[in-house]
Amino acid sequence: MAPGVGGLPVAERDVEVSGPVAEFMRSLSPKALGQMRLGLRIFEWLPFPRRFSHLDAAARDRFLQRLERSRLGLKHELLLMAKVLSTLGYAVTPQVRGAIGFEVGCGLADGSLPEPAGSLGDTEPPAGGEECDVVIVGSGAGGAVAAATLAEAGLDVLVLEAGGHYNRDNYPSDQLDAIANLYREGGLTIAAGKPAIPVPVARAVGGTTVINSGTCFRAPDPVLEDWRQRFGIGWAGQLDADFAEAEDFLRVTPLDPERMGRNGQLAMEGAAAVGASGGPISRNAGSCVQCSSCPFGCAIDAKRGMHVSYLPRAVAAGARVRAGVEVDRVLFEGDRAVGVAGAVAVPAAMRRQVRPRGESRFTVRARRAVIVAGGALGTPELLLRSGVGGGQVGRNLHIHPACWVGARYEEEVRGWDGVMQSFYIDQWEPQRILLEATFTPLAFGGGWLLGAGRSHQEAMLDFGHIGSIGVHLSDESAGRVGLGTPGSLRASYRLTRDDADRLAFGIARAAEVHFAAGATEVYPNIARVGTLRPNDLAGFEATRFRPAELRLEAFHPMGTARISADPRAGVCATDGSVHGTEGLYVADASLFPTSVGVNPMMTVIAFAKQVARRLASVAA
């Protein structure tokens, strides 16, 4: 997969790849690991009667080129899996980064370090369990904000998080270790379907705010009005004060176009050339002007994730935070939630460093309420294991399917310089499409480059000339979260033809912006298209693609415990309480009735504030 081209090292001879990848795969669930093993075995025997590993170098390269040109979807999926795994281990090595010139770093405009965040105190769970007024399961944007709101109202709050506690003092320096420790299932949580869609979410104190891009949008007014009218959320149009308070506390600031980086500037120039509306993205990172480590944790904690903002605020008001507690059920007395039970646990990759999963049980008794804030994957999982919430639990999964549209420019782009997600284009929101200039680190983005074997390595060497735009769909398609084996979940998603058409439209618009900015060719990430040049765009738009042909990712799961005044249509009432229970609430993106259409963090914060304030008034 990596034979060494143009000064790049030869995998396994010059740099070790398979060993670190094998170690990384320890972070996967047994189910995911089994799927990977099956895929790799099939890949190994694809050249039957020979085995891939038994071919000489020239035969391997010819075989990879045949896979790249194949019209069979399964062959492309297997090739992509092999590229992603090998690139994950290969691209993180200093030798590869040095040959390409890729650098990872963070920095404020004045070169200083942000002030240290307040302490979270002792995050080690005590033996046996604890008591509190309100226990919150999950420490992301929903759980952290609910904790701060309730603690400041005088309630005794305990926050439980399955993952570990990291900050700028102890983020793993090795990128594979960071992925294994900061992400659920090593970032390989998959929504099964055609296509299968990775949905990476965090598993750490602070939730996905630790590893997201820091992009801050308010929910669009038409979406909030739809939620008010169709789902009975009377307060949906009254969130301006909550948005404003959060923006101030998190130091949300629009990027300076002069400092955002060339990738964002090219998107800005292309948008202006085609007359498309847009603007610099606002982020919860103050004056940050260099940001290429977000997916591995902000190296200086300039990005104000929950672990350095709302959680310290909650602890200052008396709340407690416990890391490494995996809750597996809500405890009830009759219909009233009275606590939670689980096990002291840590991410799989850390088991050899800390105590093994399930070594001790942990129980919390909650005098007032239980809040579930595990995100749109974890929350329905816990509700289902607890047997509550009704038939709508886990349904209505929306994920904002997204695809990476890269382009080659004659000029150097060096997308890792500046800010990773920097400029948005909202011209095509009526078509449910949002474009965002987004440059992913080499370890993630390298696997999506064209080519295989030698040709893929040539593309990696050209990484400094690549610009990229993310196409982001406000989906009408839906999926479902169900129970898998203990410690895992089962997610599925059906992309409709209409939404596939919208994504293809978005890819064409991203290509149009790229070409208007001076790109010589565009990579739409559709196997039978390969590369687009300016004269190819009309033909591309005249072609209809099957959903399974699209290569997608998704970063914004939502809707799996949605609010509805009608218990038949949703899981939660308009105050966030779970229908049919007392004292059980949800406070995360699971509550969203439909796709919100923009990066959801600020809307999660506003919803959590509403739920927590109402609970505090009831408790009072």
Short-list 432, 438, 427, CA closest to 398: 432
Pairing of the two strands 190-192 and 197-198:
antiparallel
- Residue 54 is given by DSSP the state G
Residue with tokens 């038949």, as numbered in its chain: 568
Residue 169, SS3? coil
Pairing of the two strands 478-483 and 157-161:
unpaired
> Which is it for the CA torsion 72, 75, 81, 82, positive or negative?
negative
DSSP labels, 340-379: EEEEE---GGGTTTSPPTTSSEEEEEEEEEEEE-SHHHHH
- Residue 470 is given by DSSP the state E
Inter-residue contact 253 to 286 (CB < 8 Å): yes
Question: 197: which strand partners?
Answer: 191
DSSP labels, 526-543: BTTT--B-GGGHHHHHT-
Q: How would you label 510-538 residue by residue, b for 16+ Cβ within 10 Å and e otherwise?
A: bbbbbbbbebebbbbbbbebeebeeebee
Task: For residue 336, give every residue at least 6 positions away whose Cβ sits within 8 Å of its Cβ, in sequence order, or none.
Answer: 581, 582, 583
- Residue 376 phi/psi, 5-degree rounding, is -75, -5
Task: For residue 440, give every residue at least 6 positions away whose Cβ sits within 8 Å of its Cβ, in sequence order, or none.
Answer: 295, 404, 420, 468
Q: E-strand spans in 188-228?
A: 190-192, 197-198
414-417 long-range contacts, CB within 8 A, separation 24+: 414/101, 414/261, 414/262, 414/464, 415/261, 415/262, 415/263, 415/439, 415/466, 415/467, 415/468, 416/102, 416/103, 416/104, 416/292, 416/441, 416/442, 417/103, 417/261, 417/262, 417/290, 417/292
Short-list 168, 10, 214, CA closest to 93: 10
Question: 204: which strand partners?
Answer: 164
Inter-residue contact 512 to 540 (CB < 8 Å): no
Q: Considering only CA atoms, give the Rg of the chain.
A: 23
- Residue 457 phi/psi, 5-degree rounding, is -65, -35
Question: 164: which strand partners?
Answer: 204
User: What positions carry a catalytic annotation?
Assistant: 556
